[in-house]
């Protein structure tokens, strides 16, 4: 099955 | 002191309608560049970035950078009280705990002001890297909204695949499966009816339809939507806001475990 990833996995805090 | 006067006040109403179901509270950032917002939904699966450039306002005064924390559903309630053709002015003092929305009817015979309490919001700002996309699809926004709505009656997720054949939207659910293919098509009467597919490489990604459907609330803002895809990156679904800016929705893909 597939799992929902999150935005913070790709973009980091500035 | 902040004072932003927008002749096309209806645009702000549409912007809020497209944000309020996705994000509860957010900071609006005002700087010399413009009026902007970046916020994630509560589960951090989607991110929205709004920019309304200062040049798009009839009058734009922002003495120093200011962050206004607002509850978006309350802001939408206030803006609903403005007429679609009203001129909207947003005003706040530097150390203000409230923001004023002023609505003027086009012929100046009705002037209203609504004061809304501001809130302190701890929000983290994310750096969005410039990306090279494997595929960029431009298509009529109403067509994209229709596809997302139709597919969500059958399944919960959409697989968006771009190949030489075109862009394919697929879903599967308990009752069966559905595939909708849109081909590159520029032989149309009006430019806004075109579907333009630019592909560097084939790409296929899976997304939750619930979020896609939420993004399509921005459909009244623009005739065209731009969908930018790259493997293992969030999709970007962009709507232009007249000539003055954009709303970009980022949605994290579903990833095979």
Q: With an 8 Å Cβ cutoff, are A10 and B127 in contact?
A: no
* Res. B139: pLDDT tops 90: yes
Cβ count within 10 A of residue B87: 21
Give the pLDDT of residue B94.
84
pLDDT digits (tens, 9 = 90+) for B99-111: 999 999 999 999 9
Whole-angstrom Cα distance, residue B163 to residue B183? 10
Q: With an 8 Å Cβ cutoff, are A8 and B44 in contact?
A: yes
Cβ–Cβ under 8 Å, residues B78 and B70: no
Give the pLDDT of residue A1.
76
ipTM: 0.97
Average pLDDT, chain B: 96
Whole-angstrom Cα distance, residue B9 to residue B80? 11
pLDDT digits (tens, 9 = 90+) for B41-99: 999 999 999 999 999 999 999 999 999 999 999 999 999 999 999 999 999 998 889 99
pLDDT digits (tens, 9 = 90+) for B161-170: 999 999 999 9
Burial class (CB within 10 angstroms; exposed 0-12, middle 13-18, buried 19+) of B130:
exposed
Share of chain B above pLDDT 70, in %: 100
Distance from CA of B85 to the nearest CA of A (A): 36
Q: With an 8 Å Cβ cutoff, are A12 and B253 in contact?
A: no
Report CA dihedral (B124, B129, B135, B137) to the nearest 10 degrees: 50
Distance from CA of B234 to the nearest CA of A (A): 7
Whole-angstrom Cα distance, residue B74 to residue B91? 16
pLDDT band for position B126 (50/70/90)?
very high
């Amino acid at each position: 099955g597939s799992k929902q990833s999150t935005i913070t996995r790709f973009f980091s805090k500035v | 002191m902040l004072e932003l006067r927008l002749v096309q006040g209806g645009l702000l109403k549409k912007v809020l309608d497209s944000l309020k179901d996705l994000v509860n509270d957010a900071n609006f950032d005002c700087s010399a560049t413009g009026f902007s917002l970046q916020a994630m939904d509560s589960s951090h699966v989607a991110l929205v970035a709004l920019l309304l450039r200062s040049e798009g306002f009839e009058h734009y005064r922002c003495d120093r950078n200011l962050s206004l924390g607002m509850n978006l559903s309350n802001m939408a309630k206030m803006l609903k009280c403005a007429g679609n053709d009203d001129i909207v002015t947003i005003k706040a003092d530097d150390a203000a705990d409230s923001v004023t929305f002023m609505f003027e009817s086009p012929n100046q015979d009705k002037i209203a002001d609504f004061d809304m309490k501001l809130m302190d919001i701890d929000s983290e700002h994310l750096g969005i890297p410039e990306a090279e996309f494997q595929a960029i699809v431009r298509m009529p926004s109403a067509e994209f909204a229709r596809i997302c709505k139709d597919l969500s009656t059958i399944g919960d997720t959409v697989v968006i695949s771009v190949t030489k054949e075109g862009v394919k939207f697929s879903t599967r659910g308990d009752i069966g499966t559905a595939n909708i293919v849109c081909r590159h098509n520029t032989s149309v009467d009006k430019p806004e009816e075109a579907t333009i597919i630019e592909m560097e490489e084939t790409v296929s990604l899976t997304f939750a339809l619930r979020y896609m459907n939420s993004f399509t609330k921005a459909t009244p803002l623009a005739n065209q939507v731009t969908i930018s895809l790259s493997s293992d990156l969030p999709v970007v679904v962009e709507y232009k806001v007249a000539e003055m800016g954009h709303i970009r929705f980022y949605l994290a893909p579903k990833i095979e475990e």
